[in-house]
Amino acid sequence: MTAGRCVLHSIILVGGWLLYLYLCWHLRNYPGHLIAHIWELIFVFGALILVLTTGWVLHKTRSSKNKVQIERKTIKSTYTKDWEQRLIIADWERLKNANHIKIIIKGNKKIYREM
């Protein structure tokens, strides 16, 4: 997940909680006979949202740590340009056995390096 997407997800998550808290605060101004059991529902749904949010965060952090190793594929050394017509700069023999490869894009060049 990219940093921008992570920030967007965090904003949505915090925004949802703020909306929930705002609605709870707004409900406290209603007369008691109209919302006799509403506080029980607020507590139950608040606990449910907390459990679901915690579960989602734990799932996402665990799934990113336990990624399945990707099958290695051999790329032809004649691969000189990508689909956006950027020039490919790579030492394919060296990268063939690399565990991690860093891809750097500078202008119209795409550089593959071993990490």
22-32 pLDDT tens trace: 877 777 777 76
Same domain for 49 and 14?
yes
Total count of domains within the chain: 2
Residue 94 has pLDDT above 70, yes or no: yes
Same domain for 13 and 55?
yes
Same domain for 50 and 7?
yes
Three-state SS sequence of the chain: CCHHHHHHHHHHHHHHHHHHHHHHHHHCCCCCCCCCCHHHHHHHHHHHHHHHHHHHHHHHHHHHHCCCCCCCCCCCCCCCECCCCCEEECCHHHHCCCCCEEEEEECCEEEEEEC
Could you tell me the pTM of the whole model?
A: 0.36
Same domain for 77 and 50?
no
Same domain for 61 and 75?
no
